[in-house]
């Protein structure tokens, strides 16, 4: 009887560690944005906290699960503080590790969009709404980061590597698995791994989402 | 006994259809802003969703009615998706229909500020607070749209045609009717129609809200 | 027995008056930002309301205490309206009183970060989370003001006088006093007064938070 318990505990521990790593890396991306914009130490801390916790806080407010997880588990607030301190002193090193940071960020994206979708399903929301909340969990913090830093959100900008689309597909996969009653202990990690892999390939190959479709017939008729 | 039921159903159906039309048109305005700013397909979808659902989500979070309506009724998330697809392919057509879009937007404004005020009154909020939430329902989505798109919010800009003031008067009218216990089946549509008409006239006549009052005596005394 | 009751009532009344003064001054800072950015009358009102009530609304949403205080006590919405009208007509006078406004703003900051922390502790949140919410109560409205006005948030900008750091220390002091079970009737005013004094000295002496630490060895090695 000990074996499955241990198995569950170790996988649970792995999940907690992975989530804290995701929070750390999201916080690093917030802190680096603040440093790039020449904000002061407080700005670095605030962007680290908002980037790391923003998506989950929005998700929990919408679900109605208050206080949000970030205000119940103290480590969710402390990890971004550590990330801010690390970035404050070691940002030249961290910037040189840019691709490594982006890899961990992709892992965080995969993890957060899957756990966000699962939490929404657990609270009885429908599949479309749960997938939307899963994506919000993954991309919300980065959106708030860019709004506060007065940058055009990377999320919406032309010529940025795909970010939301892997999250959308991963969240959708989770809702389908939930509907088909597939075992989540397999489906959830698979979906998170898919998001991670898709995002990494999109970065390497520079896959981008299209601009609005411009009617070429218009242009050609004008030229004629 | 069938007659009043049918009457109620048909008016209820009309309300549902009108609300979805309002959501569609708000989403179109978000999608067109994204296209104007040259955002990618994801940016078009996100601005469509945020513009259409943002005001109502803020209202429901403040009232404490979670999950917000947008995350309970799936059509509230799907209609902006359709609007985003329409704008993505047909934006040159939609832009030529600019005035038509603004007309529907005025209808959405009237509808949302009235239903938002009524919902807040139903939840026991005071008249001033309910009117404030009604206006928030009407203008909140557009404010979030402009913040994400990094545009000076149309809501606060000098030389934009009146938008919030019709909504404020309509919301106030609903709270007065509620206090006087007038029949809402008459008062609510009347208030929504008033907001619509006021907004349309303000657009046609280019009525604007004043700048801060500058003390002319200062200027003249300096000149002397 | 009348004496302590009266004492409690008068101190309670002082608190209510002080809180409304804080709300008024925060609203003035929002209205002046709107006037500086040449927003119209609606923009002045919206920035006044958001700046004055934003921090407390975010706090109450996160705690789960809905509707937020701003939507229960009508004066919390009416005082910013009065501030907006005052700023609209008398802004040249108000601007000349800039330092006076900043003094009252410092008082508001001290008050809000202390009452925000206490409210979070009362709702059972941990000390770090409560301090974070106290700081959010104090600085959240100003952050929203700057985001809507499309200004780089004063909160994060280099070379701005310390604002968040006094609030953080004050909020931390409240959580320590709470842990040590010190009498809050003494500790809370003391913490608020400390925040006020620290902020005023920081303004007078132009104390600022540091930029990210740049590795000088890098620069010198390049030069060599």
Q: What is the pLDDT of residues B19-70, one digit of tens each?
A: 898 899 999 999 999 998 999 999 999 999 999 999 999 999 999 999 999 9
Query: For residue C145, with 0-12 CB atoms within 10 Å meaning exposed, 13-18 middle and 19 or more buried, which class applies?
Result: buried
How far apart are the C-alpha atoms of A149 and C156, rounded to whole Å? 9
The pLDDT, as a whole number, for residue C221 is 41
Cα–Cα distance, A16 to A91 (Å, whole number): 26
| pLDDT the model gives residue C28 | 94
Q: Mutating which of A65, A113, A130, A156 best tests the B interface, going by the most B Cβ atoms within 10 A?
A: A156
Interface mutation target, options A30, A32, A40, A58, chain C, most CBs of C under 10 Å: A40
Given this model, what pLDDT does residue C101 score?
A: 83
A31, A35, A38, A43: which to substitute to probe chain C, counting the most C Cβ within 10 Å? A43
Q: Would A223 be classed as within a structural domain?
A: no
Q: Give the count of beta carbons closer than 10 Å to the beta carbon of residue A179.
A: 10
Calculate mean pLDDT across residues B197-213: 92
Q: Which residues of C touch A66 (CB under 8 A)?
A: 61-64
Q: Where residue C10 falls among pLDDT bands split at 50, 70, 90? A: low
Chain A partners of C208 at a C-beta cutoff of 8 Å? 40
B87 chain-A contacts, CB cut-off 8 A: 212
CB proximity B212 to C under 8 Å? yes
Using CB atoms, pick whichever of B132, B150, B212 lies closest to residue C44. Answer: B212
pLDDT value for C224: 36
| Contact with chain A for residue C155, Cβ under 8 A | yes
Q: How many beta-carbon pairs below 8 A join chains B and C?
A: 86
Residue B69 touches chain A, beta carbons under 8 Å? no
The whole-number pLDDT of residue A7 equals: 47
**Which of B84-98, B129-143, B167-181 is predicted least confidently?**
B84-98
* Residue B131 scores a pLDDT above 70: yes
Could you say which of A67, A78, A87 has the minimum Cβ distance to residue C125? A67
Q: Check residue A134 and give its pLDDT.
A: 96
Query: Is A91 within the bounds of a domain?
Result: yes
In a domain, B195, yes or no: yes
- pLDDT tens across C87-116, in order? 999 998 888 888 888 888 899 999 999 999
Task: Please check whether residue B221 lies inside any domain of the structure.
Answer: no
DSSP structure class, residue A71: G
3-state secondary structure of A163: coil
Q: Which two tokens stand for residue B173?
A: 């009218």
- Say if B103 falls within a structural domain: yes
Assess if residue C215 is contained within a domain. no
Range list of H helices, C64-126: 75-96, 98-122
Question: CB atoms < 10 A from the CB of A166, how many?
Answer: 26
pLDDT, position C1: 36
- Give residue-wise pLDDT tens across range A98-148: 888 888 889 999 999 999 999 999 999 999 999 999 999 999 999 999 999
Q: 3-state DSSP call for residue B120? A: helix
CA distances to A73, C135, C194 from C174, in Å: 20, 12, 11
**Mean pLDDT of the residues in chain C:** 88
Nearest in space to A160 (alpha carbons), one of A148, A152, A170: A152
Q: Which domain holds residue C179?
A: 2-210
Instruction: Tell me which residue of A94, C58, A133, A48 sits closest to B71, measured CA to CA.
Output: A133
Which run of H or of E encompasses C73?
none
Write down the number of H helices and E strands in chain A.
Answer: 8, 0
Number of other CB atoms surrounding residue A193 within 10 Å:
15
Spatial CB neighbours of B123, under 8 Å, sequence gap ≥ 6: B63, B64, B65, C67
Q: Domain count for chain A, please give it.
A: 1
pLDDT in tens, B154-170: 889 888 899 999 999 99
Tell me the pLDDT band of C217, cut-offs 50, 70 and 90: very low
CB A46 to CB C164 under 8 A? yes
Q: Which has more confidence, A91 or C220?
A: A91
Residue A221 domain-assigned?
Answer: no
For residues A23 and A85, give the distance between their C-alpha atoms in angstroms, rounded to a whole number: 14
Is the pLDDT higher at B151 or at A12?
B151
* B222 falls within a domain: no
- pLDDT tens profile A179-203: 999 999 899 999 999 999 999 999 9
Instruction: Please give the pLDDT value at position A11.
Output: 61
């Amino acid at each position: 009887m000990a074996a499955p318990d241990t198995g569950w505990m170790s996988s649970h521990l792995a999940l907690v560690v992975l989530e804290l790593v995701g929070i750390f890396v999201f916080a690093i991306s917030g802190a680096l944005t603040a440093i790039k914009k020449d904000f002061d130490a407080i700005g670095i801390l605030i962007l680290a906290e908002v980037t790391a916790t923003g998506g989950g806080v929005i998700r929990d407010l919408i679900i109605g699960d208050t206080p949000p997880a970030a205000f119940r588990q103290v480590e969710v607030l402390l990890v971004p503080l550590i990330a801010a301190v690390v970035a404050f002193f070691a940002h030249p090193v961290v910037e040189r590790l840019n691709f490594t940071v982006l890899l961990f960020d992709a892992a965080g994206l995969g993890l957060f969009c899957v756990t966000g979708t699962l939490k929404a399903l657990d609270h009885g929301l429908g599949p479309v709404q749960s997938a939307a909340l899963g994506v919000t969990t993954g991309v919300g913090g980065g959106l708030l980061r860019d709004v506060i830093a007065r940058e055009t959100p990377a999320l919406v900008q032309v010529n940025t590597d795909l970010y939301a689309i892997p999250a959308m597909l991963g969240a959708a996969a989770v809702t389908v698995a939930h509907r088909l009653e597939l075992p989540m202990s397999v489906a959830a990690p698979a979906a998170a791994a898919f998001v991670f892999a898709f995002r990494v390939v999109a970065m390497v190959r520079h896959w981008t989402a299209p601009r609005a479709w411009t009617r070429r017939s218009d242009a050609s008729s004008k030229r004629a």
